[in-house]
Structure 1
Amino acid sequence: MGLYVEARIRADLHDLWIRTQDPARHQRWDLRFTEITHLPRAEGEPQRFRYATRVLPFLTVAGTGVSAGERERPDGTRTSALRFASPHPLSLLAEGSGYWRYVPDGDGVRFLTGYDYRPRWGAFGALADRLVFRPLMGWATAWSFDRLRLWLERGVTPERALRNWLAELALRAVAVAVACTGLGWESFLRLLGPFAASTAYLLPLLLSVVVCLALFTSPLACTPAARRCLRTPPARTRAPRLLRTLEDPR
Protein backbone atom coordinates (compact mmCIF):
# COMPACT_ATOMS: atom_id res chain seq x y z
CA MET A 1 0.00 0.00 0.00
CA GLY A 2 1.25 3.48 -0.81
CA LEU A 3 0.19 5.26 2.39
CA TYR A 4 0.40 3.97 5.96
CA VAL A 5 -0.76 5.58 9.20
CA GLU A 6 -0.95 4.07 12.68
CA ALA A 7 -2.22 5.45 15.98
CA ARG A 8 -2.34 3.84 19.39
CA ILE A 9 -5.66 4.69 21.03
CA ARG A 10 -6.46 3.93 24.67
CA ALA A 11 -10.06 2.93 24.16
CA ASP A 12 -12.36 -0.07 24.04
CA LEU A 13 -12.14 -2.01 20.79
CA HIS A 14 -15.92 -1.95 20.31
CA ASP A 15 -16.12 1.83 20.82
CA LEU A 16 -13.36 2.36 18.26
CA TRP A 17 -15.11 0.05 15.80
CA ILE A 18 -18.42 1.94 16.11
CA ARG A 19 -16.88 5.39 15.64
CA THR A 20 -15.05 4.26 12.52
CA GLN A 21 -17.72 2.05 10.91
CA ASP A 22 -20.81 4.20 11.49
CA PRO A 23 -20.95 6.76 8.64
CA ALA A 24 -22.45 9.53 10.77
CA ARG A 25 -19.59 9.24 13.27
CA HIS A 26 -16.90 8.58 10.68
CA GLN A 27 -17.55 11.78 8.74
CA ARG A 28 -17.24 13.83 11.93
CA TRP A 29 -13.59 13.01 12.58
CA ASP A 30 -12.17 12.18 9.14
CA LEU A 31 -10.88 15.34 7.46
CA ARG A 32 -10.85 13.63 4.06
CA PHE A 33 -14.63 13.37 3.82
CA THR A 34 -17.52 15.80 4.13
CA GLU A 35 -20.26 13.20 3.81
CA ILE A 36 -20.46 9.39 3.93
CA THR A 37 -23.71 7.54 3.28
CA HIS A 38 -24.45 3.81 3.23
CA LEU A 39 -26.45 2.67 0.20
CA PRO A 40 -29.17 -0.01 0.32
CA ARG A 41 -27.91 -3.58 0.04
CA ALA A 42 -29.29 -7.10 -0.06
CA GLU A 43 -28.64 -9.63 2.70
CA GLY A 44 -25.15 -11.10 2.46
CA GLU A 45 -23.80 -8.47 0.04
CA PRO A 46 -20.89 -6.14 0.85
CA GLN A 47 -21.84 -2.67 2.01
CA ARG A 48 -21.87 -0.03 -0.72
CA PHE A 49 -21.46 3.62 0.17
CA ARG A 50 -21.28 7.10 -1.32
CA TYR A 51 -18.75 9.66 -0.19
CA ALA A 52 -18.30 13.36 -0.93
CA THR A 53 -15.55 15.85 -0.21
CA ARG A 54 -15.99 19.61 -0.34
CA VAL A 55 -12.79 20.82 -1.99
CA LEU A 56 -13.93 24.47 -2.21
CA PRO A 57 -17.08 26.24 -0.99
CA PHE A 58 -18.53 25.85 -4.50
CA LEU A 59 -16.94 22.51 -5.47
CA THR A 60 -17.74 19.06 -4.09
CA VAL A 61 -16.37 15.84 -5.58
CA ALA A 62 -18.11 12.54 -4.91
CA GLY A 63 -17.55 8.86 -5.46
CA THR A 64 -18.78 5.42 -4.51
CA GLY A 65 -17.25 2.45 -2.78
CA VAL A 66 -17.80 -1.02 -1.41
CA SER A 67 -16.61 -2.27 1.98
CA ALA A 68 -16.66 -5.36 4.17
CA GLY A 69 -15.53 -6.06 7.71
CA GLU A 70 -14.46 -8.92 9.94
CA ARG A 71 -15.51 -8.26 13.52
CA GLU A 72 -14.42 -11.60 14.95
CA ARG A 73 -11.04 -13.01 13.95
CA PRO A 74 -9.22 -15.92 15.60
CA ASP A 75 -6.36 -13.66 16.76
CA GLY A 76 -8.72 -11.15 18.42
CA THR A 77 -8.19 -8.43 15.82
CA ARG A 78 -10.73 -6.84 13.50
CA THR A 79 -10.37 -5.82 9.87
CA SER A 80 -12.23 -3.59 7.45
CA ALA A 81 -11.45 -3.35 3.72
CA LEU A 82 -12.79 -1.16 0.95
CA ARG A 83 -12.52 -0.25 -2.72
CA PHE A 84 -13.55 3.16 -3.97
CA ALA A 85 -13.74 5.20 -7.17
CA SER A 86 -14.74 8.70 -8.23
CA PRO A 87 -16.04 9.48 -11.74
CA HIS A 88 -15.85 13.24 -11.12
CA PRO A 89 -13.51 14.75 -13.76
CA LEU A 90 -12.05 17.23 -11.24
CA SER A 91 -11.14 14.50 -8.76
CA LEU A 92 -7.44 13.68 -8.95
CA LEU A 93 -8.23 10.38 -7.25
CA ALA A 94 -9.67 7.99 -9.85
CA GLU A 95 -9.88 4.71 -7.92
CA GLY A 96 -8.21 2.97 -5.03
CA SER A 97 -8.40 0.47 -2.20
CA GLY A 98 -7.40 0.19 1.42
CA TYR A 99 -7.96 -1.39 4.80
CA TRP A 100 -8.23 -0.67 8.51
CA ARG A 101 -6.85 -3.02 11.15
CA TYR A 102 -7.78 -2.99 14.83
CA VAL A 103 -5.15 -4.72 16.94
CA PRO A 104 -5.73 -4.96 20.74
CA ASP A 105 -2.62 -3.82 22.58
CA GLY A 106 -2.68 -3.81 26.37
CA ASP A 107 -5.04 -1.09 27.55
CA GLY A 108 -5.63 0.20 24.03
CA VAL A 109 -5.83 -0.58 20.34
CA ARG A 110 -3.35 -0.15 17.51
CA PHE A 111 -5.52 1.38 14.81
CA LEU A 112 -3.79 1.36 11.45
CA THR A 113 -4.54 1.87 7.80
CA GLY A 114 -2.86 1.15 4.51
CA TYR A 115 -4.25 2.40 1.22
CA ASP A 116 -3.31 3.37 -2.30
CA TYR A 117 -5.01 4.86 -5.32
CA ARG A 118 -4.55 5.65 -8.99
CA PRO A 119 -4.48 9.35 -9.93
CA ARG A 120 -5.99 10.64 -13.17
CA TRP A 121 -4.88 13.44 -15.54
CA GLY A 122 -1.93 11.49 -16.97
CA ALA A 123 1.63 12.68 -16.39
CA PHE A 124 0.49 15.97 -14.87
CA GLY A 125 -1.72 14.13 -12.38
CA ALA A 126 1.09 11.76 -11.43
CA LEU A 127 3.43 14.70 -10.76
CA ALA A 128 0.81 16.65 -8.80
CA ASP A 129 0.06 13.54 -6.77
CA ARG A 130 3.68 12.86 -5.89
CA LEU A 131 4.54 16.46 -4.99
CA VAL A 132 1.32 17.70 -3.37
CA PHE A 133 -1.70 15.46 -3.13
CA ARG A 134 -0.16 12.28 -1.70
CA PRO A 135 1.74 14.09 1.09
CA LEU A 136 -1.44 16.03 1.86
CA MET A 137 -3.50 12.83 2.01
CA GLY A 138 -0.98 11.24 4.36
CA TRP A 139 -1.03 14.28 6.63
CA ALA A 140 -4.85 14.49 6.60
CA THR A 141 -5.14 10.79 7.49
CA ALA A 142 -2.72 11.07 10.41
CA TRP A 143 -4.31 14.31 11.66
CA SER A 144 -7.74 12.66 11.51
CA PHE A 145 -6.53 9.59 13.41
CA ASP A 146 -5.24 11.82 16.22
CA ARG A 147 -8.52 13.72 16.19
CA LEU A 148 -10.31 10.39 16.65
CA ARG A 149 -7.92 9.51 19.48
CA LEU A 150 -8.76 12.73 21.33
CA TRP A 151 -12.46 11.98 20.97
CA LEU A 152 -12.11 8.51 22.46
CA GLU A 153 -9.44 9.18 25.09
CA ARG A 154 -10.28 12.70 26.30
CA GLY A 155 -13.86 13.26 25.20
CA VAL A 156 -12.80 16.13 22.92
CA THR A 157 -15.44 16.15 20.18
CA PRO A 158 -14.20 16.37 16.58
CA GLU A 159 -15.79 19.80 16.21
CA ARG A 160 -14.04 21.14 19.31
CA ALA A 161 -10.76 19.54 18.22
CA LEU A 162 -10.94 21.42 14.93
CA ARG A 163 -11.57 24.70 16.76
CA ASN A 164 -8.62 24.00 19.07
CA TRP A 165 -6.39 23.36 16.06
CA LEU A 166 -7.48 26.51 14.23
CA ALA A 167 -7.07 28.64 17.36
CA GLU A 168 -3.58 27.30 18.08
CA LEU A 169 -2.58 27.71 14.43
CA ALA A 170 -3.77 31.33 14.50
CA LEU A 171 -1.85 32.07 17.72
CA ARG A 172 1.34 30.60 16.29
CA ALA A 173 0.90 32.60 13.07
CA VAL A 174 0.38 35.83 15.02
CA ALA A 175 3.49 35.15 17.12
CA VAL A 176 5.60 34.60 14.00
CA ALA A 177 4.17 37.71 12.33
CA VAL A 178 4.84 39.88 15.38
CA ALA A 179 8.36 38.53 15.76
CA CYS A 180 9.23 38.93 12.08
CA THR A 181 7.78 42.44 11.68
CA GLY A 182 8.89 43.76 15.06
CA LEU A 183 5.41 45.05 15.89
CA GLY A 184 5.19 46.22 19.48
CA TRP A 185 8.87 45.78 20.26
CA GLU A 186 9.61 49.52 20.29
CA SER A 187 6.93 49.99 22.94
CA PHE A 188 8.41 47.08 24.86
CA LEU A 189 11.87 48.66 24.80
CA ARG A 190 10.47 52.00 25.97
CA LEU A 191 9.02 50.24 29.00
CA LEU A 192 12.54 49.16 29.90
CA GLY A 193 13.55 52.84 30.19
CA PRO A 194 17.26 53.23 30.92
CA PHE A 195 17.84 49.50 30.45
CA ALA A 196 16.66 49.63 26.82
CA ALA A 197 20.06 50.51 25.35
CA SER A 198 21.86 47.72 27.19
CA THR A 199 19.28 45.11 26.23
CA ALA A 200 18.56 46.15 22.62
CA TYR A 201 21.25 43.81 21.28
CA LEU A 202 19.28 40.89 22.75
CA LEU A 203 16.24 41.72 20.63
CA PRO A 204 17.23 39.61 17.56
CA LEU A 205 17.89 36.64 19.86
CA LEU A 206 14.54 37.12 21.60
CA LEU A 207 12.73 37.32 18.25
CA SER A 208 14.43 34.13 17.10
CA VAL A 209 13.33 32.34 20.27
CA VAL A 210 9.72 33.45 19.76
CA VAL A 211 9.74 32.18 16.16
CA CYS A 212 11.26 28.84 17.16
CA LEU A 213 8.71 28.36 19.94
CA ALA A 214 5.85 29.19 17.58
CA LEU A 215 7.06 26.85 14.85
CA PHE A 216 8.54 23.89 16.66
CA THR A 217 6.94 23.41 20.08
CA SER A 218 4.62 20.43 20.43
CA PRO A 219 0.89 21.02 19.95
CA LEU A 220 -1.27 21.32 23.06
CA ALA A 221 -2.65 18.10 24.49
CA CYS A 222 -6.19 18.80 23.23
CA THR A 223 -5.08 19.80 19.73
CA PRO A 224 -4.89 17.07 17.05
CA ALA A 225 -1.51 16.63 15.38
CA ALA A 226 -0.39 14.34 12.57
CA ARG A 227 3.07 14.05 14.14
CA ARG A 228 1.68 11.85 16.92
CA CYS A 229 0.95 9.04 14.44
CA LEU A 230 3.33 6.51 12.97
CA ARG A 231 3.71 7.11 9.22
CA THR A 232 6.03 4.23 8.34
CA PRO A 233 5.04 0.58 8.87
CA PRO A 234 7.19 -1.10 11.56
CA ALA A 235 7.60 -4.13 9.29
CA ARG A 236 6.53 -5.32 5.88
CA THR A 237 2.73 -5.22 5.77
CA ARG A 238 0.31 -7.03 3.51
CA ALA A 239 -3.24 -6.13 2.61
CA PRO A 240 -5.83 -8.45 4.16
CA ARG A 241 -7.28 -11.25 2.03
CA LEU A 242 -10.68 -9.70 2.62
CA LEU A 243 -9.74 -6.94 0.20
CA ARG A 244 -9.47 -9.39 -2.70
CA THR A 245 -13.10 -10.44 -2.24
CA LEU A 246 -14.44 -6.95 -3.01
CA GLU A 247 -15.50 -6.09 -6.53
CA ASP A 248 -14.88 -2.87 -8.40
CA PRO A 249 -17.38 -0.29 -7.06
CA ARG A 250 -17.89 1.45 -10.41
Structure 2
Amino acid sequence: MGQRSALYIEARIHADLDDLWTRTQDPARHQRWDLRFTEIAHLPRAEGEPQRFRYATRLLPGLMIAGTGVCAGEKERPDGTRTSALRFSSPHPLSLLAEGSGYWRYIPDGDGVRFLTGYDYRPRWGAFGALADRLLLRPLMGWATAWSFDRLRLWLEWGISPERARLNWLMELFTRAVILAVTGAGLATESVLPAFGPLAVLMAFCWPLLLTVLFFAALLAPPLPCTPAARRCRRKAPSRSRAPRLLRTLETPR
Protein backbone atom coordinates (compact mmCIF):
# COMPACT_ATOMS: atom_id res chain seq x y z
CA MET A 1 0.00 0.00 0.00
CA GLY A 2 2.36 2.69 -1.21
CA GLN A 3 5.09 4.19 0.97
CA ARG A 4 2.94 4.67 4.07
CA SER A 5 4.11 3.09 7.30
CA ALA A 6 1.88 0.14 8.17
CA LEU A 7 0.62 -0.05 11.73
CA TYR A 8 1.95 -2.71 14.07
CA ILE A 9 0.88 -3.38 17.67
CA GLU A 10 1.87 -6.26 19.94
CA ALA A 11 0.80 -7.17 23.46
CA ARG A 12 1.90 -10.05 25.66
CA ILE A 13 -1.14 -11.45 27.43
CA HIS A 14 -1.05 -14.02 30.24
CA ALA A 15 -4.15 -15.93 29.20
CA ASP A 16 -5.38 -19.18 27.72
CA LEU A 17 -5.05 -19.25 23.93
CA ASP A 18 -8.61 -20.50 23.42
CA ASP A 19 -9.99 -17.74 25.65
CA LEU A 20 -8.04 -15.08 23.77
CA TRP A 21 -9.22 -16.51 20.45
CA THR A 22 -12.87 -16.41 21.53
CA ARG A 23 -12.77 -12.83 22.80
CA THR A 24 -11.21 -11.60 19.60
CA GLN A 25 -13.10 -13.69 17.03
CA ASP A 26 -16.61 -13.39 18.49
CA PRO A 27 -18.06 -10.08 17.17
CA ALA A 28 -20.15 -9.42 20.29
CA ARG A 29 -17.06 -9.66 22.50
CA HIS A 30 -14.73 -7.98 20.03
CA GLN A 31 -16.78 -4.79 19.89
CA ARG A 32 -16.72 -4.52 23.68
CA TRP A 33 -12.95 -4.03 23.96
CA ASP A 34 -11.95 -2.55 20.60
CA LEU A 35 -12.17 1.24 20.71
CA ARG A 36 -12.14 1.45 16.92
CA PHE A 37 -15.58 -0.14 16.50
CA THR A 38 -19.03 0.54 17.86
CA GLU A 39 -20.74 -2.41 16.16
CA ILE A 40 -19.47 -5.61 14.51
CA ALA A 41 -21.78 -8.27 13.10
CA HIS A 42 -21.23 -11.35 10.95
CA LEU A 43 -23.24 -11.56 7.74
CA PRO A 44 -24.83 -14.77 6.37
CA ARG A 45 -22.51 -16.93 4.29
CA ALA A 46 -22.63 -20.11 2.27
CA GLU A 47 -20.75 -23.25 3.23
CA GLY A 48 -17.02 -22.94 2.51
CA GLU A 49 -17.05 -19.19 1.88
CA PRO A 50 -15.00 -16.71 3.92
CA GLN A 51 -16.87 -14.95 6.68
CA ARG A 52 -18.23 -11.54 5.75
CA PHE A 53 -19.02 -8.90 8.34
CA ARG A 54 -20.37 -5.41 8.78
CA TYR A 55 -18.73 -2.86 11.06
CA ALA A 56 -19.69 0.63 12.19
CA THR A 57 -18.03 3.38 14.19
CA ARG A 58 -19.89 6.24 15.86
CA LEU A 59 -18.05 9.49 15.19
CA LEU A 60 -20.70 11.75 16.72
CA PRO A 61 -24.15 11.21 18.22
CA GLY A 62 -26.33 10.21 15.29
CA LEU A 63 -23.38 9.82 12.88
CA MET A 64 -22.20 6.27 12.18
CA ILE A 65 -19.53 5.37 9.63
CA ALA A 66 -20.14 1.84 8.34
CA GLY A 67 -18.33 -0.59 6.08
CA THR A 68 -18.04 -4.26 5.22
CA GLY A 69 -15.26 -6.78 5.36
CA VAL A 70 -14.27 -10.37 4.80
CA CYS A 71 -12.16 -12.46 7.15
CA ALA A 72 -10.74 -15.95 7.54
CA GLY A 73 -8.87 -17.73 10.29
CA GLU A 74 -6.45 -20.59 10.84
CA LYS A 75 -7.12 -22.02 14.28
CA GLU A 76 -4.90 -25.09 13.93
CA ARG A 77 -1.43 -24.51 12.50
CA PRO A 78 1.51 -26.96 12.57
CA ASP A 79 3.64 -24.60 14.68
CA GLY A 80 0.93 -24.13 17.33
CA THR A 81 0.19 -20.54 16.38
CA ARG A 82 -3.09 -19.14 15.10
CA THR A 83 -3.80 -16.51 12.47
CA SER A 84 -6.70 -14.50 11.17
CA ALA A 85 -6.77 -12.05 8.28
CA LEU A 86 -9.24 -9.57 6.88
CA ARG A 87 -9.91 -7.05 4.15
CA PHE A 88 -12.36 -4.21 4.56
CA SER A 89 -13.79 -1.18 2.77
CA SER A 90 -16.20 1.64 3.49
CA PRO A 91 -18.22 3.50 0.83
CA HIS A 92 -19.23 6.22 3.29
CA PRO A 93 -18.04 9.60 1.94
CA LEU A 94 -17.06 10.77 5.45
CA SER A 95 -14.85 7.75 6.07
CA LEU A 96 -11.20 8.67 5.56
CA LEU A 97 -10.44 4.93 5.37
CA ALA A 98 -11.44 3.81 1.89
CA GLU A 99 -10.17 0.24 2.08
CA GLY A 100 -7.53 -1.78 3.88
CA SER A 101 -6.31 -5.12 5.11
CA GLY A 102 -4.72 -6.62 8.16
CA TYR A 103 -4.05 -9.69 10.26
CA TRP A 104 -3.86 -10.99 13.81
CA ARG A 105 -1.31 -13.51 15.02
CA TYR A 106 -1.57 -15.56 18.20
CA ILE A 107 1.84 -16.90 19.25
CA PRO A 108 2.06 -19.05 22.42
CA ASP A 109 4.95 -17.80 24.54
CA GLY A 110 5.64 -19.54 27.85
CA ASP A 111 2.74 -18.85 30.20
CA GLY A 112 1.12 -16.36 27.84
CA VAL A 113 0.41 -15.39 24.25
CA ARG A 114 2.01 -12.79 22.00
CA PHE A 115 -1.02 -11.19 20.40
CA LEU A 116 -0.11 -8.91 17.53
CA THR A 117 -1.60 -7.15 14.57
CA GLY A 118 -0.34 -5.53 11.41
CA TYR A 119 -2.61 -3.53 9.14
CA ASP A 120 -2.69 -0.78 6.57
CA TYR A 121 -5.32 1.10 4.61
CA ARG A 122 -5.76 3.54 1.74
CA PRO A 123 -7.13 6.96 2.68
CA ARG A 124 -9.54 8.83 0.42
CA TRP A 125 -9.88 12.59 -0.30
CA GLY A 126 -6.72 12.79 -2.38
CA ALA A 127 -3.77 14.88 -1.19
CA PHE A 128 -5.77 16.37 1.68
CA GLY A 129 -6.73 12.91 2.89
CA ALA A 130 -3.15 11.69 2.70
CA LEU A 131 -1.99 14.64 4.80
CA ALA A 132 -4.82 14.25 7.33
CA ASP A 133 -4.02 10.57 7.61
CA ARG A 134 -0.30 11.10 8.19
CA LEU A 135 -0.72 13.89 10.74
CA LEU A 136 -3.87 12.82 12.57
CA LEU A 137 -5.66 9.60 11.72
CA ARG A 138 -2.75 7.16 11.51
CA PRO A 139 -1.26 8.16 14.90
CA LEU A 140 -4.77 8.05 16.38
CA MET A 141 -5.46 4.60 14.93
CA GLY A 142 -2.16 3.28 16.27
CA TRP A 143 -2.90 4.64 19.73
CA ALA A 144 -6.51 3.33 19.71
CA THR A 145 -5.37 -0.15 18.68
CA ALA A 146 -2.68 -0.32 21.36
CA TRP A 147 -5.05 1.05 24.02
CA SER A 148 -7.64 -1.54 23.02
CA PHE A 149 -5.10 -4.38 23.19
CA ASP A 150 -4.22 -3.38 26.75
CA ARG A 151 -7.92 -3.13 27.58
CA LEU A 152 -8.30 -6.70 26.32
CA ARG A 153 -5.30 -7.76 28.42
CA LEU A 154 -6.90 -6.36 31.58
CA TRP A 155 -10.09 -8.26 30.79
CA LEU A 156 -8.26 -11.56 30.39
CA GLU A 157 -5.61 -11.19 33.13
CA TRP A 158 -7.42 -9.20 35.81
CA GLY A 159 -11.08 -9.88 35.03
CA ILE A 160 -11.69 -6.14 34.56
CA SER A 161 -14.56 -5.81 32.09
CA PRO A 162 -14.00 -3.52 29.08
CA GLU A 163 -16.71 -1.21 30.38
CA ARG A 164 -15.05 -0.93 33.79
CA ALA A 165 -11.64 -0.42 32.19
CA ARG A 166 -13.00 2.51 30.18
CA LEU A 167 -14.48 4.02 33.36
CA ASN A 168 -11.12 3.60 35.14
CA TRP A 169 -9.43 5.41 32.26
CA LEU A 170 -11.94 8.29 32.27
CA MET A 171 -11.69 8.66 36.05
CA GLU A 172 -7.90 8.76 35.93
CA LEU A 173 -7.96 11.32 33.11
CA PHE A 174 -10.39 13.47 35.10
CA THR A 175 -8.27 13.25 38.26
CA ARG A 176 -5.12 14.20 36.40
CA ALA A 177 -6.91 17.09 34.68
CA VAL A 178 -8.15 18.45 38.00
CA ILE A 179 -4.68 18.27 39.57
CA LEU A 180 -3.13 19.94 36.53
CA ALA A 181 -5.74 22.69 36.56
CA VAL A 182 -5.40 23.38 40.28
CA THR A 183 -1.62 23.29 40.39
CA GLY A 184 -1.35 25.18 37.11
CA ALA A 185 -3.43 27.97 38.57
CA GLY A 186 -0.95 28.04 41.44
CA LEU A 187 -3.64 28.25 44.12
CA ALA A 188 -4.09 31.55 45.94
CA THR A 189 -1.01 31.47 48.13
CA GLU A 190 -2.07 34.37 50.33
CA SER A 191 -5.40 32.70 51.15
CA VAL A 192 -3.92 29.26 51.86
CA LEU A 193 -0.79 29.99 53.87
CA PRO A 194 -2.52 31.40 57.02
CA ALA A 195 -3.96 27.94 57.62
CA PHE A 196 -0.43 26.71 58.41
CA GLY A 197 -0.06 29.09 61.37
CA PRO A 198 3.55 29.33 62.56
CA LEU A 199 4.67 27.30 59.57
CA ALA A 200 3.34 29.86 57.10
CA VAL A 201 6.76 31.36 56.43
CA LEU A 202 8.25 27.94 55.76
CA MET A 203 5.34 27.01 53.51
CA ALA A 204 5.82 30.22 51.55
CA PHE A 205 9.06 28.69 50.31
CA CYS A 206 7.80 25.10 50.02
CA TRP A 207 4.46 25.82 48.36
CA PRO A 208 5.78 26.48 44.80
CA LEU A 209 7.90 23.32 45.00
CA LEU A 210 4.91 21.27 46.19
CA LEU A 211 2.76 22.59 43.35
CA THR A 212 5.50 21.80 40.84
CA VAL A 213 5.87 18.22 42.13
CA LEU A 214 2.10 17.65 42.00
CA PHE A 215 1.90 19.13 38.50
CA PHE A 216 4.57 16.90 37.02
CA ALA A 217 3.32 13.86 38.95
CA ALA A 218 -0.10 14.26 37.36
CA LEU A 219 1.47 14.84 33.97
CA LEU A 220 4.14 12.13 33.93
CA ALA A 221 3.16 9.42 36.41
CA PRO A 222 2.52 6.04 34.73
CA PRO A 223 -1.10 4.87 34.41
CA LEU A 224 -2.57 2.87 37.25
CA PRO A 225 -2.34 -0.92 36.79
CA CYS A 226 -6.14 -1.14 36.36
CA THR A 227 -6.19 1.51 33.62
CA PRO A 228 -5.66 0.66 29.92
CA ALA A 229 -2.57 2.29 28.41
CA ALA A 230 -1.28 2.20 24.86
CA ARG A 231 2.31 2.61 26.11
CA ARG A 232 2.30 -0.96 27.43
CA CYS A 233 2.20 -2.36 23.88
CA ARG A 234 5.01 -2.73 21.41
CA ARG A 235 4.53 -0.39 18.46
CA LYS A 236 7.48 -1.23 16.21
CA ALA A 237 7.40 -4.30 14.00
CA PRO A 238 10.31 -6.77 14.03
CA SER A 239 12.32 -6.72 10.83
CA ARG A 240 11.16 -10.27 10.01
CA SER A 241 7.46 -9.44 10.40
CA ARG A 242 5.27 -10.02 7.34
CA ALA A 243 1.62 -10.58 6.51
CA PRO A 244 0.39 -14.20 6.50
CA ARG A 245 -0.29 -15.98 3.20
CA LEU A 246 -3.90 -16.33 4.30
CA LEU A 247 -4.40 -12.64 3.56
CA ARG A 248 -3.74 -13.18 -0.14
CA THR A 249 -6.73 -15.53 -0.39
CA LEU A 250 -9.19 -12.75 0.46
CA GLU A 251 -10.66 -10.18 -1.92
CA THR A 252 -11.50 -6.66 -0.86
CA PRO A 253 -15.29 -6.34 -0.48
CA ARG A 254 -17.05 -3.78 -2.65
- What range is the shorter-chain TM-score in? over 0.9
SS of 1:42's equivalent? coil
Equivalent position SS for 2:223: coil
**TM-score, normalized by length of structure 2?**
0.96
Counterpart position of 1:8: 12
Q: Distance in 1 between matches of 2:80 and 2:128?
A: 44
Aligned residues between the structures: 250
Secondary structure of the residue that 2:80 maps to in structure 1? coil
SS at match of 1:192: helix
> Which residue is 2:200 aligned to?
196
Which residue in the other structure is 1:120 paired with? 124
The verdict on how the C-alpha distance between 1:184 and 1:30 changes in structure 2, with shifts beyond 3 A counting, is farther
TM-score when normalising by structure 1: 0.97
Instruction: Give 1:200 deviation, angstroms.
Output: 1.1
> Are 2:177 and 1:173 equivalent residues in the alignment?
yes
Alignment-derived partner of residue 32 in structure 1 = 36
**What is the CA–CA distance in structure 2 between the aligned matches of 1:30 and 1:114, rounded to whole Å?**
15
Letter in 2 for 1:46: P
Report percent identity of matched pairs: 77
Distance 2:87 2:190 in 1: 59
Partner amino acid for 1:194?
P
2:137 alignment counterpart: 133
Tell me if 1:151 matches 2:193: no
Give the drift of 1:185. Answer: 4.9
Is the Cα contact below 8 Å between 1:178 and 1:184 reproduced in 2?
no
Distance 1:234 1:210 in 2: 38
Per-residue CA distance 1:177-231 (angstroms, 9 max, x = gap): 0001123654542221122123212222211111111011111111100000000
Give the distance between the partners of 2:90 and 2:187, measured in 1 at CA: 48
Letter paired with 1:67? C
Specify the alignment match of 1:92 in structure 2. Answer: 96
Kept in 2: contact 1:11–1:108 (CA 8 A): yes
Task: Decide which moves more: 137-146 or 211-220.
Answer: 211-220
- Pair 185,25 (structure 1): closer, same or farther in 2 beyond 3 Å: farther
Match of 2:111 in 1: 107
Alpha carbons of structure 1 residues 180 and 166: separation in structure 2 relative to 1, 3 Å: same
Is 2:146 the counterpart of 1:142? yes
CA RMSD, Structure 1 to Structure 2 (Å): 1.1
Q: 1:235 Cα deviation (Å)? A: 2.9
Q: Secondary structure at the match of 2:253?
A: coil
Letter of the 1:178 counterpart: V
Structure 1 residues 184 and 144 mapped into 2: Cα distance closer, same or farther (>3 Å)? Answer: farther
Gaps of 5+ in 1: none
Secondary structure, counterpart of 2:224 in structure 1? coil
1:52 pairs with 2:56: yes
In the alignment, the residues of structure 2 paired with residue 164 and residue 187 of structure 1 have an alpha-carbon distance, to the nearest angstrom, of 34
Secondary structure in 1 matching 2:134: helix
Opposite residue 136 of structure 2, the aligned amino acid is V
Whole-angstrom distance in 2 between the partners of 1:101 and 1:148: 15
How far residue 103 of structure 1 moved from its aligned partner, in angstroms, is 0.1
Q: Please tell me whether residue 20 in structure 1 is matched to residue 20 in structure 2.
A: no
Residue type at the aligned position of 1:35:
E
**SS of the residue 1:73 aligns to:** coil
* Alpha-carbon contact 1:64-1:249 (below 8 Å) kept: yes
> In structure 1, what residue type is equivalent to 2:154?
L
